[in-house]
Amino acid sequence: MNCLSILLFAATAISAAANDSIPTDTIKVIEGAHRLVLTENAQGVNVTITGKDNDPGFSYSYQSQFSPDATVHTSQQSNNWRLTLPFSRREKSTAKYPHNACTMGGLAFGGVSAPGISSKMRTSWEIMLLNVIAFERHFTPSSRLSIGIGIDWRNYRLDENLRFFQAGDGAISISTYGEEVSKPLSRIKTFSWLVPAIYRQRLYRDLWLNAGAILCINSHASLLTKYSNAQGNHEQSSDNIRQNVVTCDFIASLNYSWLGFYVKYSPCHVLKASTGLEFRSLSAGLILAF
């Protein structure tokens, strides 16, 4: 009996489901087996089954000898789940569809702007890990849907002679420094937890188009303005700038293998209307292992 028969036997021996038609090369079917031990040596493979639902003392053993030119392949799969690591997006040609996978990736570095308030934000940036962990449903070799958890930092920095200013009532405005200053820095920084839902479609070989929506839980935001002038060093900072806690982003990217380009836009305002400074977020840059 060849190795395929042995593997078929092992699979059917531990299955509790009835099968109306049994392949002609099946040796034995045992319903409700309790324990299966598969051992291998230079001579062959031995399968031992002990106990079953209606007979705890049941015992069965089967041995098959290897042929001189035999090649043995073994694999293990549980509940149709697979683990996919970054930089390793290829799947075996023998993978069955649909199936599920656990994955991570989507490290992004980009520039960020704030449409509606200022075009002078050339040094603003974003760092994002889109999927710290994600669960994917692979429908076909070329299409999949994922839902994950990620993190994101965005730094909105004003250039030239502009600064963020927070008044005593919490209102935030953009103004000039009013005089010649040195070492100016004025920015609003946010940190967000992400829940992305992304659909991925293969266009050609390793070329993928990705698009989806991201639920953002903005757990922290801060304002910092500091500069120096003839009167000395000045600094204003605040960790209470009334950010909108829940917002939504839309993302699209084009990836070839592990390298891609992404664009992300939020139709929601970053800060609450009570601050008097409402602006949206637009970012773009490189995304890796996605």
Does residue 76 lie within any of the structural domains? no
Does residue 246 lie within any of the structural domains? yes
Query: pTM for this one?
Result: 0.69
Taking 70 as the pLDDT cut, the residues of the chain under it are 1-27, 34, 42-43, 66-94, 118-119
Q: Are residues 140 and 220 in the same domain?
A: yes
Distance of CA 128 to the CA centre of its chain: 11
At 94 the pLDDT is 65
Domain that holds residue 140: 81-288
Q: Are residues 35 and 126 in the same domain?
A: no
Does residue 208 lie within any of the structural domains? yes
Q: Are residues 284 and 207 in the same domain?
A: yes
At 179 the pLDDT is 78
Number of domains in the chain: 2
Q: Are residues 249 and 142 in the same domain?
A: yes
Does residue 201 lie within any of the structural domains? yes
Q: Are residues 181 and 282 in the same domain?
A: yes
Q: Are residues 145 and 182 in the same domain?
A: yes
Does residue 48 lie within any of the structural domains? yes
Q: Are residues 7 and 108 in the same domain?
A: no
At 88 the pLDDT is 52
Q: Are residues 88 and 37 in the same domain?
A: no
At 82 the pLDDT is 56
At 55 the pLDDT is 75
At 100 the pLDDT is 94
Q: Are residues 232 and 130 in the same domain?
A: yes
